Structure 1
């Protein structure tokens, strides 16, 4: 897998890409918001990215979660011990998921059944080393305080996109013209043989039909930059990206 790559994609918007998963750091003055946090083993990479931006964990005021799979909240338990004032915000449903009141995630048996597929063996080895089997939960996860933009750097607007998980949330950054798509729409994945806008393989979705329907919620959003949970960032509008996915569906 590739080492982390930190890219400033807009004022105060910093995209961190690893070979297996991505996260985003929003900054404004001394204030920091983290969107997702990688696997348990990605904590050093999260700390490295903050340091490169001249920030410290204790400056994190909020962590926004797209969804509570281990590859998106894995480093949070240890990171939050260094960020005592950070609120962990997501949809009400996904907050319960993050607290592990229920779990919607591909099981080791699901992954094992797909090891014959290209890309799966090397990806599986990597995620095992990154802590994919750890029992990760975030007890302090809570629901957004209300509708509309959040009062954190970037003024992100939550966009509920259930399907990948029941409470999956994307984040629209109107000021930056960007959309953080989480796993509702990605641009690559180690288990995919194609690059460009796409859905993850079926086994990763809690409700694949709902995940496809959620694309209709993204298409109208005004943005020219996609920041996905997996794959590179792309200078595309949500409508263009959804059209590619729909076209790939035949």
Structure 2
């Protein structure tokens, strides 16, 4: 099982849990009605998702719904695997639903990765993610477009951040204190040469200018905690993190 770390923030009756692994992160929103899962790692992370639920005193049976920041295999895969044994709806931005259903696939191809595979960090990354199911092209055939998410545990609010994929979404939770930024704004990656707020490399991003515009828009949020799809949790003014990522 993948090694994981859970960091938690409480705001009123909502507990927001940031689950970090070496390869990718996910977030769990928890209140008295159950949990909302935001992303779920690679297919091979399904057991780690269950372990993270156990660590917060929950279980897959308490999942009331799952949200995708986007439908890349390292965010969708664990959810798809978990749903083979558990029943819950999966939601994505309306522009991302086709991607989640695999009507099309919008992620780095083997040819894209081959062009950067000479770098030792890329080879180490591949050795980590291929056993986790990085080559799996399965989707979630019944993924649904989200509208009002207020009925889900934690009452997440979607923030369109199209660019990394055509329907990428961030989410604001914890009364506006926390921004879950997926892969629009990250704080590190296994192949990145820098640490701290950044945008993922161009090879991973569908529309680089659109993603940069989306990240810039995040500066208007009041969040003081950023939970990214890759890298460590960030605490501070999100506008400062945005400036650092776009510099």
Question: 1:65-104 alignment to 2 at 5 Å?
Answer: 65-84=68-87, 86-104=88-106
C-alpha distance in 2 between matches for 1:22 and 1:90: 17
Question: 1:26-37 alignment to 2 at 5 Å?
Answer: 26-37=29-40
Residue 245 (structure 1) aligns with: 245
1:204 to partner: Cα distance: 0.1
Question: What TM-score do the two structures reach when normalised by structure 2?
Answer: 0.94
Q: Write out per-residue CA displacement over residues 49-107 of structure 1, whole angstroms, 9 at most, x where no aligned residue.
A: 111122121210010100000000011222113331x2211111111110011110001
Q: Write out per-residue CA displacement over residues 9-47 of structure 1, whole angstroms, 9 at most, x where no aligned residue.
A: 334111100001000011001411000000011011101
Residue 113 (structure 1) aligns with: 115
Residue 165 (structure 2) aligns with: 165
Give 3-state SS (helix, strand or coil) of 2:102's partner. Answer: coil
Give 3-state SS (helix, strand or coil) of 1:13's partner. Answer: strand
4+ aligned runs moved over 4 Å, structure 1: none
Return 5+ residue gaps in structure 1 as ranges.
none
Would you say how many aligned residue pairs link Structure 1 and Structure 2?
244
Q: Write out per-residue CA displacement over residues 123-153 of structure 1, whole angstroms, 9 at most, x where no aligned residue.
A: 011111110001220012111134xx53212
Native 8 Å contact 2:10 2:174 kept in 1: no
C-alpha distance in 1 between matches for 2:48 and 2:174: 27
Question: 1:36-75 alignment to 2 at 5 Å?
Answer: 36-75=39-78
Residue 180 (structure 1) aligns with: 180
Native 8 Å contact 1:154 1:175 kept in 2: no
Question: 1:131-146 alignment to 2 at 5 Å?
Answer: 131-146=133-148
1:118 to partner: Cα distance: 4.1
1:237 to partner: Cα distance: 2.2
Give 3-state SS (helix, strand or coil) of 1:71's partner. Answer: helix
C-alpha distance in 2 between matches for 1:150 and 1:184: 23
Native 8 Å contact 1:58 1:82 kept in 2: no
Question: 1:164-243 alignment to 2 at 5 Å?
Answer: 164-175=164-175, 177-243=177-243
1:2 to partner: Cα distance: 7.2
Q: Write out per-residue CA displacement over residues 201-230 of structure 1, whole angstroms, 9 at most, x where no aligned residue.
A: 110000111111111221101110000000
Q: CA RMSD in A?
A: 1.5
